[in-house]
Amino acid sequence: MSIFHAILLAIIEGITEFLPISSTGHMVLMSSFLGIEKDKFTKLFEICIQFGAILAVVVLYWKKFFNFSNWQFYVKLVIAVIPALIFGKLFNDLIDEHLENPAFIATVLLIGGVILLFVDKWFKNPVIHEESDINNISAVKIGLYQCLAILFPGLSRSAATIVGGMQQRLTRSLAAEFSFFLAVPTMAAATIYKLFKYIKEEGSITGEELKLLGIGNVVAFIVAVLAIKFFITILNKYGFKYFGVYRIILGIGILLMLAIGNK
């Protein structure tokens, strides 16, 4: 992987991590398109630069994250992230298998896009407008929605958790914010796990690999700050329909290219 590849993948990560279009799916597909070797470090890189993106959430919402008097906030995040940790550990091999299957990812992108066309109509009457009104049961249920994105790469973690929040009768904007908050412990845990697993298997990380990870995280952080502000504006104004259309077009396009390439 070159520095150019690292920067490009980090830009994609920063843009797509919090949009309901699947950051993992985009990075996997872009890696395949660019011909980047799918070695162990590339897989590690695609996970670890998500850490840079989630730091954008901590910075943008620092008052919430460092308000230690609101201990209930931290409890909700811990409760919501537990299902993802369990599912991620149990189905790690299956997840890795799906990540290497562009056709699977494209199909999930397509199906998820169709669902997003109707989400705004399904959940039109939210009653929860503040984070403090989210109870622990709702937090667990949103966490279970997140597991769907873990099991089906291409679904989008943010899409799954935002839809889960809206199903629990949160407003669109609050569901999006809680999805951002939930990304922090989820992605931090995934990064730490993958990093330790890589070091255990490979023995160490080279200086060049550390440089690529550093560049990737910085770029992902900067781009994610801009993407979060953009997403909230678009979501509040237009809802999910345009993201759904994009996913459908992308999914069909990838499937057509794969079909043509196999002839």
Average model confidence (pLDDT) across the chain: 86
Q: What is the pLDDT of residue 221?
A: 94
Burial label for 218, CB within 10 Å (0-12, 13-18, 19+), is middle
Q: What is the pLDDT of residue 218?
A: 95
Beta bridge partners of 170: 128
DSSP annotation string for 93-149: HHHHHHHT-HHHHHHHHHHHHHHHHHHHHH-----B-SGGG--HHHHHHHHHHHHHH
Domain boundary assignment for the chain? 3-261
Q: What percent of the chain has pLDDT over 70?
A: 95
Residue 170 — φ and ψ, nearest 5°? -85, 150
Cα 78 from Cα 85, distance rounded (Å): 10
pLDDT digits (tens, 9 = 90+) for 106-122: 888 999 999 999 988 88
Read off the tokens for 129. 């407008």
Q: Which residues contact 137 (CB under 8 A, 6 or more apart)?
A: none
Rounded to two decimals, the pTM is: 0.85
155 DSSP 8-state letter: S
Residue 7 — φ and ψ, nearest 5°? -65, -45
- The residue ranges of the chain whose pLDDT is under 70 are 91-100, 261-263
pLDDT digits (tens, 9 = 90+) for 116-140: 999 888 888 888 888 888 899 999 9
Read off the tokens for 93. 């091999």
